[in-house]
Structure 1
Amino acid sequence: MFNQPNLKNCDELPAELATFWEILQVDYQEAMRRLHSTKLSVKSLGALPTQDFISSLESLHIQVVDEGDIEVVLTDDYLQDGLAELNQKALQNQRPWMLVKPVGTTIWIGPIFYPYQTGCWECLAQRLRTNRPVETFIQKQRGSSIPLITSVAALPSTWQTGLKLAATEIAKWIVREGEKTLAGTLITFDTISIKTENHILVRRPQCSCCGHGSNYNSKPLPLVLESRKKTFTLDGGHRCFTPEETLKKHEHHISRITGVVHSLNQKEHTQNGAIHSYYSGHNFAMMFDGLYFLRQTVRGKSGGKGKTDIQAKVSALCEAIERYSGIFQGDEIRHKASYSNLKNLAIHPNACMDFSETQYRNRREWNANSELNQKVPEPFDEDREMDWTPIWSLTHQDFKYVPTAYCYYGYPREQNPDCWANSNGAAAGNTKEEAIFQGFMELVERDSVALWWYNRVQRPLVDLDSFDDPYLRVVKEYYKTINREIWVLDITGDLNIPTFVALSRRTDRKPEDIVFGFGSHFDPKIAILRAITEANQVLPAVLKVDSDGSTQYRLNDRVALDWWQTATLENQPYLVPDTRVKPKVYSDYPYLGSEDVREDVLTCVKLAEQHGMEVLVLDQTRPDIGLNVVKVIVPGMRHFWKRLAPGRLYDVPVELGWLSEPLQEHQLNPIPMFL
């Protein structure tokens, strides 16, 4: 059937070949002309022979020469030594080239690199390293750049399949010259599942090879707020675009090979109409060198929630991008100085971390038995030179400086670090204004939680029926079907921004497996929904039970496990509504928002300033991503982790009338918040 055609007479081209090209809407004579006029060269990096591949190309009438119009490189690993040099030469000569990996259970074809049009190999390599944390860790420990070759599985049939698939795709690319299917696209074919996927390669403007390199980010720019009209206010927050629009714009970042979001999956126990929750990998927020931190990175996930499936999906995607954008990459603007030399331009890290003198004094004993997010750093040395990051003060309209180690995950750690980054105040948005507002709301939420949790004060019940939201009724009914009750407390703090905690406990047996979620927003309905959906997000961790009804926990955090197994409403009475006051209803809450996100941000700045606080914003948006990411810092506002320095934690509950006098440090809740 597949006899070789007479290359000198296209009229004698076998019908099956002519039909194939005509199915692709290309006249067979034109197809042959294009194939004959294109010259390819083939090269191998790694221990792969090229003759079978050359034969496959020639069987499709593609000319293989020593110096072709395009070079195709066979390799057993896309990080193989020698590819960086090939990339540099291709960029210098402005010559396209292509990669093929025909070995391993998953065959890789492409991308074709078009110099200065698509991403280059260095753009691809950056993403590959990010998505190979274990391999990258081992290479760092060895001090080697040689990749660990993992694509070793192959059969003679899969080898031939890989070569012939690649040859076919190259022929299609040549014949369909107007459609650059392989341009900036990597195609994978799984020989086990027979599944094909496309992975988009994004060109990185900051790439040191095909982009602007260090010149892209040479000096800090003032942050200018722009008017941003709201178009979506139903779920998750107030946005300038719908969740569907956001997903469409950024879903190409989901790829285990070329993406910054490894995967996006629906959580278990969420196919019930009440709970919508997704997780995306990886959560890089704890990324450091060291085996313990490697485990946290590999296992870590970002999460998304909402009252609809699409909102939860987009929330998980955006949180993963937010985490990625906050990773230290080495090209960030930094200034080397000491705190004492910067004087009033510098923000002391403990004004943001809020550890007490007692915590510093007892840190070694505490750290020996605490989870990572509860550890206490070394005392800050004000005379030590270090990297500082310029960060814009929305309050004073000028730059301040914060330690770079506090601003970015994975900043190279000292042996005994005095500060490190966390995700509090980090947020993503369709616009910078959106992200800033969301980041500030998170700070308000965590601050209010800390005031309530550590002071263990009872707060009023919230009447959910008064919010007249059908979704809230669906949630309440669902919780009943799984033998749980759910209620909401008002924990609004001194900024008077509606803030709530949603709580749920098991009612059919012990332990009570108490879960909770939090929410703050100018719109009290959104704040309630955020609290409820966050509780929903945590709920699957305690839903799986053995045949005897005992819980099989889905989280290995020691503090969380101890809480679920021992906490009850009886021994934690601050979880119980304060019956001395009437339940709060929807009409009790002011609506602080406007029609413009910019105006909402300015209101946040004004509220903070009225309470003697400064709003700082670090723009962490990465030019190759497109989703706006910021870290909002308000020195003095409290994280809900165990940070017990003097200040708001003690003073505000008295100012609000929650307590008659401030508690002493030893009187605070000994259980650290673990979310």
Structure 2
Amino acid sequence: MFNQLDWNPAYSIETLEPNTVFFLSERESICFQEPLYYRLVRLIDGQRNFDEIIDILQLELLQNQEINPNNPNSLAVIINYSLAIQKAIFQLYKRGFLLEKKELLPSNLAILCHHLQVSQSEAFERLQSLKVTVKSLGSIPQQDLINILNSLQVQVADEGDLTIILTDNYLHPDLESINQQALVSHKPWLLVNPLGNLAWIGPLFDPDKTGCWHCLAQRLRDNRPVEEFIIRQRENKISLISPLGFSSATIQTVLNLTAMEVFKWIIQGKNQRLEGILMTYDTLNLQFQDHILVKRPNCPSCGYSLNKTPLPVVLGHRKKAFTSDGGHRFCSPEETLRTYQHHIGSITGIVRELNKIQGNALVHTYVAKHHFRSVFDDLDSLRQNIGGRSAGKGRTDSQAKASGFCEAIERYSGVFQGNEIREKANYQELGDKAIHPNKCMNFSEKQYQHREEWNPKNQGWFQKVPEPFDETRIIDWTPVWSLTAEDFKYLPTVYCYYGYPQSEPLDCWADSNGCAAGNTIEEAILQGFMELLERDCVALWWYNQLVKPSVNLESFNEPYFEQLKQYYEGLNRELWVLDITSDLNIPCFAAISPRKGREVEDILLGYGAHFDPKIAISRALTEVNQILPNVLSFKEDGTTIYNPSADPLAVKWWQTARLSNQSYSVFQSAEVQKLWVLGKRQEAKVKREEKYVYLTSLGNAIFSSR
């Protein structure tokens, strides 16, 4: 039975006659109208025990109601009253208003334990059995944190169950050895930087649950492109970023927050607030933000998928849940963003920024900034990395945002990390397992022969012709799964990954043609295939300057198409679509928008391909939307102001291309009617007034030219 009873110090107790009791705390206010509770408030004072309280109340009952204890009926009244008292005490105890007085912890800590839903005895036991170690790397004194921990009755020792590292640099070189020791000992540790206007608390690394410091360091470096560029140029491995401004007041605030989280970890046996989470505290606006640490499967320190055996691609059937914008998807763009939101962030994210370009209700475009590494480690590449290498578009804001995010994930996934599955050999040794890189690049013998003359005349690397491939040179090869042969083939690793550190000669390099990310492997393959098909159709049309039929957008009965044309009209621009479908008979289109009434026409081009022609046209139009902001700024005389970070080749095109010298891109009719019936292309000629024209009707015939 209970010894001495006392009220929970987390509550202030007030009474109102004749029988009302209030329990008031920071988080709740509770009222009881119960005579027994009212009487117990007067008797429970931390001195009396359970039996004494019952005896006093029974005596009061006898005195106030003149009950004869020798009367059998009176005895039943006393017993029932005693049971009612016991029930009331147990109810108050169960709800946390009443405690058995043990004085194990100071009242302030007892109150804290109550709000954390941990009993005082359990908290006391854990505080006695667990110890922490505090260390400092850099200029931060550790004694202040030790003093705060002691005030919380946290024991500090040289060899603790939890190690706290105070540092002004999360990439301090000594952290690597601390991380390795923790992985071996399976002991958790906490990283804290209390300096600067943006203080960092966490992550709490748990080797059995979370990612490790190596996982964090990789993301930190990836999200510091300028700093990492300087380090590479100086051949220096020490991080350059450290807090430049802070005050003792904010430092103490962060140390107190840290100590409180350590206290929670001890008495609760866990701390979900910091386990695998880096929490930033902005001391200027008092805002907290969580940054999720992802346990990287290919981490060289804690990774769980370092198996060097390649796995075949196994395809399955997936239900299409979203088909209204951008393609056929496994889930909606909103669901995609919810699922992968933790990958967006400037500290632990893959995508450090995902910014919307100003538009309107029709035009939605996002630019994604993320880690990227190319063969060419120069200032031009750095500028592109800073400005953003990926973008997304869509008919809705969420589709554009998801599109930009997925393209960034696609590009990030193609960056060489160093732990990829590779095999050293030459082309001849691999035999029919090897794919000659020129089978993918398709350069002609003539192009190779004249590369020395051709390359200096062309600015962009997409126009360069590489060195002829040396079939006898020992290089790294990457296994790729052939969907046609259902077996592994091998491509040069330098062709598969961006930033592979290859030596001369440059006989091939990676590009993003045909790359895609998706919610499932099937979705990603479909998107990548559509991009390859689109580029193939564009190449046939563009390089041969083929005259292609125009599309009657009105025939689709799609309000968005007409609204977009009107919007472009308001910008003094035209907008039309050409059908550039090839002999593959999968719909592919080119959307074209020139500026009207100016010598410089700033012609915009966008492309789209899909099994569904309406989706294909929508993709082409929204791609023009994506490029549009590059040509919307003008001087007073109407001259276009181009973004300094814009691709020089694109700027050259905008400045020099005219409909008069690019006649294949003009809105025009053709002599063959193209009908799309049940997804299949039909050829037919229709004669009207001795001229061949294109017909259109919603349903049977979808595409036409005028």
Same fold, judged at TM 0.5 (above): yes
SS at match of 2:351: coil
> Larger C-alpha radius of gyration, 1 or 2?
2
Which residue of 1 is the match for residue 520 of structure 2?
Answer: 431
Corresponding position: 1:421 with 2:513: no
Corresponding position: 1:249 with 2:317: no
- How far is the alpha carbon of 1:38 from its aligned partner? 4.2
Runs of 5+ unmatched residues, structure 1: 1-7, 594-675
What is the rounded CA distance, in whole Å, between the counterparts of 1:475 and 1:58 in structure 2?
66
Which residue of 2 is the match for residue 54 of structure 1?
Answer: 146
Which residue of 2 is the match for residue 182 of structure 1?
Answer: 274
Which residue of 2 is the match for residue 558 of structure 1?
Answer: 648
- How far is the alpha carbon of 1:67 from its aligned partner? 1.9
Which of 528, 531, 542 aligns to 2:631? It is 542
Corresponding position: 1:327 with 2:415: yes
SS at match of 1:78: coil
SS at match of 1:485: coil
- How far is the alpha carbon of 1:103 from its aligned partner? 1.6
- How far is the alpha carbon of 1:257 from its aligned partner? 1.2
Counting only pairs closer than 5 Å after superposition, residues 298-317 of structure 1 correspond to structure 2 as: 298-317=386-405
Structure possessing the higher relative contact order (Cα contacts under 8 Å, 6 or more residues apart): 1
CA contact (8 A) 1:158 1:191 kept: yes
Which of 370, 373, 376 aligns to 2:465? It is 376
SS at match of 1:183: coil
Which residue of 1 is the match for residue 351 of structure 2?
Answer: 261
Q: Quick one: which amino acid aligns to residue 320 of structure 1?
A: A
Q: Quick one: which amino acid aligns to residue 137 of structure 2?
A: L
C-alpha change, 1:38 and 1:495, in structure 2 (3 Å) is: same
Which residue of 1 is the match for residue 79 of structure 2?
Answer: none
- How far is the alpha carbon of 1:363 from its aligned partner? 3.2
Which of 387, 391, 406 aligns to 1:318? It is 406
Q: Quick one: which amino acid aligns to residue 356 of structure 1?
A: S
Which of 212, 220, 223 aligns to 1:131? It is 223
Counting only pairs closer than 5 Å after superposition, residues 163-178 of structure 1 correspond to structure 2 as: 163-177=255-269
Which residue of 2 is the match for residue 280 of structure 1?
Answer: 368
What is the rounded CA distance, in whole Å, between the counterparts of 2:505 and 2:680 in structure 1?
44
What is the rounded CA distance, in whole Å, between the counterparts of 1:72 and 1:364 in structure 2?
59
Cα displacement string for residues 521-574 of structure 1 (whole angstroms, at most 9, x for unaligned residues): 111111111101111111111112234332221243221111112222112111
- How far is the alpha carbon of 1:285 from its aligned partner? 6.3
Cα displacement string for residues 117-176 of structure 1 (whole angstroms, at most 9, x for unaligned residues): 110111111212222233333333444433224323323333333323323333344455
Which residue of 1 is the match for residue 327 of structure 2?
Answer: 237
SS at match of 1:266: strand
C-alpha change, 1:289 and 1:571, in structure 2 (3 Å) is: closer
Q: Quick one: which amino acid aligns to residue 45 of structure 1?
A: L
SS at match of 1:127: helix
Which residue of 2 is the match for residue 650 of structure 1?
Answer: none
C-alpha change, 1:206 and 1:557, in structure 2 (3 Å) is: closer
TM-score, L = length of structure 2: 0.77
Which residue of 1 is the match for residue 107 of structure 2?
Answer: 13
What is the rounded CA distance, in whole Å, between the counterparts of 1:12 and 1:485 in structure 2?
77
Cα RMSD, aligned residues only: 2.6
C-alpha change, 1:27 and 1:476, in structure 2 (3 Å) is: farther
Counting only pairs closer than 5 Å after superposition, residues 27-176 of structure 1 correspond to structure 2 as: 38-176=130-268
C-alpha change, 1:513 and 1:175, in structure 2 (3 Å) is: farther
Which residue of 1 is the match for residue 26 of structure 2?
Answer: none
User: For this pair of structures, how many residues does the alignment match?
Assistant: 579
- How far is the alpha carbon of 1:31 from its aligned partner? 6.0
- How far is the alpha carbon of 1:196 from its aligned partner? 2.1
- How far is the alpha carbon of 1:32 from its aligned partner? 6.5
What is the rounded CA distance, in whole Å, between the counterparts of 1:130 and 1:579 in structure 2?
50
CA contact (8 A) 1:407 1:421 kept: yes
CA contact (8 A) 2:281 2:288 kept: yes
CA contact (8 A) 2:186 2:207 kept: yes
Counting only pairs closer than 5 Å after superposition, residues 628-643 of structure 1 correspond to structure 2 as: none
Q: Quick one: which amino acid aligns to residue 657 of structure 2?
A: A
CA contact (8 A) 1:499 1:518 kept: yes
C-alpha change, 1:190 and 1:359, in structure 2 (3 Å) is: farther
CA contact (8 A) 1:76 1:149 kept: no
Which residue of 2 is the match for residue 670 of structure 1?
Answer: none
Which of 566, 588, 602 aligns to 1:477? It is 566
C-alpha change, 1:45 and 1:526, in structure 2 (3 Å) is: same
Runs of 5+ unmatched residues, structure 2: 1-101, 682-706
SS at match of 1:204: coil
C-alpha change, 1:351 and 1:69, in structure 2 (3 Å) is: same
Corresponding position: 1:491 with 2:580: yes
SS at match of 1:390: strand
What is the rounded CA distance, in whole Å, between the counterparts of 2:284 and 2:143 in structure 1?
26
TM-score, L = length of structure 1: 0.80
- How far is the alpha carbon of 1:433 from its aligned partner? 1.1
Which residue of 1 is the match for residue 476 of structure 2?
Answer: 387
What is the rounded CA distance, in whole Å, between the counterparts of 2:495 and 2:250 in structure 1?
49
- How far is the alpha carbon of 1:406 from its aligned partner? 0.5
Which of 440, 459, 463 aligns to 1:352? It is 440
Comparing 306-315 and 278-287, the one that deviates more: 278-287
Which residue of 1 is the match for residue 620 of structure 2?
Answer: 531
